Amino acid sequence: MDTPAATPPAPKIYRVGTLSYTRGALLQLMFWMLWGDFCFQLLESLPSAVIPLQLRWEGANDTLIGIKSSIASLIAFVWYPVVGSQSDRHRGRLGRRRPFLLWCIPPVILSLLLLGLAKPAGSMVHEILAGSGLGAWVTVPGCTLVWIAACFIVFLVFNAYVVQVYGCLIADVIPSEVIGKFTGFYRAVGALGSLAFHRWALGWVETHTFSVYACTGLLYAVAFSLLVWRVKEGEYPPPPPPAPGGRLGAIKGYFKECFTNRFYLNYFTVTFFHWGSLAPLSFVVFFATKAGKPDYAETLGLSLQQFGEVKGWTFLIQIPVFLVVGYFVDKFHPLRVAMAGLFLTVASYFCCYWLISDAASMLFWLCINQASLAIYLGAAMAMGPRLLPRERYGQFVSANIIFGITSLVIAPPLMGLLLQWIRDYRYAFLISGLSNIAAFIACVFLYLQWKGLGGDQDYRPPAVGTAPPESKPGLSPTTPAG
């Protein structure tokens, strides 16, 4: 008798919300999301790496450079909650996230072009003011600094939509069962973008400032236009009804839902200390290069091109780490991997402080530091989709960013004042390490709370605006299971 042919297994279907993907469709989605991430990292490298140099070339001191970062953080502190709630509540033909990405492309590009023209624009503004009789009150560098500040603020306002909405779009379209692998690739591609900028663009900034800004902005515009076209959002339930009491009631509801639960507060605290640890790193370029102050402790004396090459190699090291971390995040949970990453990051910062003495040792220890940091960053990005409530995901992401931004408002000017007192840029590594110790302690407490709320088997996000729900018998939110 003939044996009936075996039925081939049905292809696996990946689902998130009302969206469903075959393996091929999921790979296409990830390609467009990762291509956008690569170009976005090129864009993000400009304000973090170039604007401090532009300020220093115009004679800005460390405190003023630190205030620049605080301005960015202060605007984000006020604006991010608005952006998160707007995108959560928006319903349109393109979904609730993509319209904001599309609308913000023109102003972001315009602000970048104007930043690239800061030096000639400062001279032009000075000539206009001098012609009106105010020349004795202003200088060319002063006009340039004001121009940079104004354009930077415009960039921050509209880029806030890109940062916030793009992160929320990931949670809306990427299935949770592959979120760890995706975030690993996401971080790896982002590191590749940072590598490309520092390796091949940073050395041209001083002599071809406008060209670097213009090329980066054009690439970003093309990438995100394609992303909006190719990535589709699913259907969303109707937005929650407006809070009673109008805008004031909405603000009260926001704070009650986000900041009255100990579990979420601990989650935000990890971000607070980790983001604060990043503020001192904007001064590392002055420790490495000849851009340091003459009356400060001796720097390594590298050229800007040499420092860019060193930084480029550190991002290259991150790429395989991000790819591997995604597997461990899905297998062991983001919280466990995050704790390991923070522990290694603390150790690497102290090694940077004690052991860097020349270009070779800087390359080695910064590579170790960036590899350790990649472990944490790969896990941290997957923590949100695994820990936060989906129905108000953008709202809680914005609340988390508020904590991080509060740290970035406080840390940069304090760091600038401290460095003006110590006069040694090497201390940036030590302060970053100390801040990450606090982040590690907060992450350990968060892990214990997560275990008490069900852990691997039964965790559900605590109801918003309430105390943590009752734990399983014999467990408390701060007592590990087992």
pTM, whole model, 2 decimals? Answer: 0.65
pLDDT given for residue 168 in this prediction = 83
Contacts of 358 (CB under 8 A, 6+ apart): 300
Tokens for 353? Answer: 């402080």
Find the length of the chain: 482
Each residue's pLDDT expressed in tens, for the chain with a length of 482 residues = 555 555 666 778 888 888 999 989 999 999 999 898 888 888 888 877 788 888 888 888 777 777 776 777 777 777 777 777 778 788 888 888 899 989 999 999 999 999 999 999 999 998 888 877 766 678 888 899 999 989 999 998 898 888 888 888 888 898 878 887 787 788 778 778 877 887 778 778 888 899 999 999 999 899 999 999 999 998 888 876 766 666 677 778 777 888 888 899 999 999 999 998 987 887 888 888 765 566 777 778 787 778 878 877 887 888 888 888 888 888 889 999 999 999 999 999 999 999 988 888 988 999 999 999 999 988 998 888 888 887 777 788 878 888 887 887 788 778 878 878 888 888 889 999 999 999 999 999 999 999 988 888 888 888 765 444 433 333 333 222 32
In order of 42, 202, 400, the CA distances from 461 in angstroms are: 34, 43, 15
The C-alpha torsion from 20 through 22 and 27 to 31, rounded to 10°, is: -40
Residues forming beta bridges with residue 16, ordered by sequence position: 19
User: What's the rounded Cα separation, in Å, for the pair 122 and 141?
Assistant: 7
Amino acid at 290: K
pLDDT given for residue 471 in this prediction = 37
Would you list the DSSP string of 393-426?
HHHHHHHHHHHHHHHHHHHHHHHHHHHHHH--TT
How many CB atoms are closer than 10 A to CB 470? 10
At residue 16, φ and ψ (nearest 5 deg) are -150, 120
Using a 10 angstrom Cβ sphere, with 0-12 exposed, 13-18 middle and 19 or more buried, the burial of residue 47 is buried
User: What's the rounded Cα separation, in Å, for the pair 157 and 155?
Assistant: 6
Which listed CATH number (1.25.40.80, 1.10.8.420, 1.10.3720.10, 1.20.1250.20) goes with 26-231+249-458? 1.20.1250.20
Helix (H) or strand (E) holding 14: strand 14-16
pLDDT given for residue 473 in this prediction = 32
Angle 99-37-323 (CA atoms, 0-180°, nearest 5)? Answer: 140
User: What's the rounded Cα separation, in Å, for the pair 3 and 386?
Assistant: 46
Angle 9-14-20 (CA atoms, 0-180°, nearest 5)? Answer: 110
User: What's the rounded Cα separation, in Å, for the pair 51 and 302?
Assistant: 19
